[in-house]
Amino acid sequence: MQITNAPTGRSWLSMAKKLLLPVVACGLLASCAALIGPRQLDVPLTRLQEGLDRRFPLNNKAMALLDVQLTHPQLTMLPDSNRVALSLDVSVAPPFIRQSWNGNVAMSGRLAIDNVRNAVYIRDAHVDTVTINGMDEEKQRQFKLVANLVADQMIKDVPLYNFRPEDLRIAGVQFVPTAIMATSRGLVVNFEPAK
């Protein structure tokens, strides 16, 4: 008489469940990740404005000649051109004169995503208008030329929005921002699953 340890119907079924359950679970998770496709993130103008308010005042020595301070940023979306406008109070103090000039600078720029720093920046900033209190129009035009030379330098490292970890990862899937659009209410950022 020979005794075999052949599995009974119940034990074989139990063993099959133990082996197949993890395989099926992994398959379901993989298929769910594949189903998560492109998505969008709406960033309201109020959140953008609050972020800018925290990063100012901004001080710079323009062309090693002028001490420039930018304060009170006011952000406006330009959806028709997919750009943003930024109005700032400005204070300019030349080293050879004991007074400073105060006024307002309005600039605009295009939106750009920096995937290395996980942020949205203003690029190619251009000064649209300069108004300096007590300065004649000819000097204001000259100041605008100087301001155009330094505007992009001063603004280029100020993030308009920093992506949060939860913006970039959902349900275990890593996303990368691929496009950005200005709307009247803020920004819309398109994301694709990372490959």
Question: Which pTM value belongs to this model?
Answer: 0.76
| Beta-strand pair 159-162/101-114 | unpaired
Q: How confident is the model at residue 147 (pLDDT cuts 50, 70, 90)?
A: confident
Q: How confident is the model at residue 33 (pLDDT cuts 50, 70, 90)?
A: very low
Q: Kindly state the average pLDDT of the residues 74-101.
A: 92
User: What is the model's pLDDT at position 24?
Assistant: 55
Q: What angle do CA 17, 22, 26 make, to 5 degrees?
A: 140
**Percent of residues, the chain, with pLDDT higher than 70:** 81
User: What is the model's pLDDT at position 93?
Assistant: 87
User: What is the model's pLDDT at position 34?
Assistant: 52
For the chain, which residues make up each domain, given as ranges?
49-110+126-159
Enter the CATH code of domain 49-110+126-159. 3.15.10.40
Q: What CA–CA distances, in Å, run from 6 to 1, 13, 15, 41? A: 15, 13, 13, 58
Q: How confident is the model at residue 65 (pLDDT cuts 50, 70, 90)?
A: confident
In this model, does residue 30 exceed pLDDT 60?
no
How many other CB atoms are there within 10 angstroms of residue 164's CB atom? 10
Q: Tell me: the pLDDT tens digits for 90-123?
A: 998 887 778 888 999 999 999 999 999 999 999 9
Lowest-confidence pick of 56-60, 86-90, 151-155 = 151-155
Is 156 or 176 the better-scoring residue by pLDDT?
176
User: What is the model's pLDDT at position 139?
Assistant: 84
Q: Kindly state the average pLDDT of the residues 51-70.
A: 85
Nearest to 127 by CA among 141, 111, 113: 141
Contact predicate 88/73, CB 8 Å: yes
Between CA 108 and CA 78 the distance in angstroms is 9
Q: Kindly state the average pLDDT of the residues 17-41.
A: 64
Token reading at 2 = 């020979």
In this model, does residue 52 exceed pLDDT 80?
yes
Is 141 or 22 the better-scoring residue by pLDDT?
141
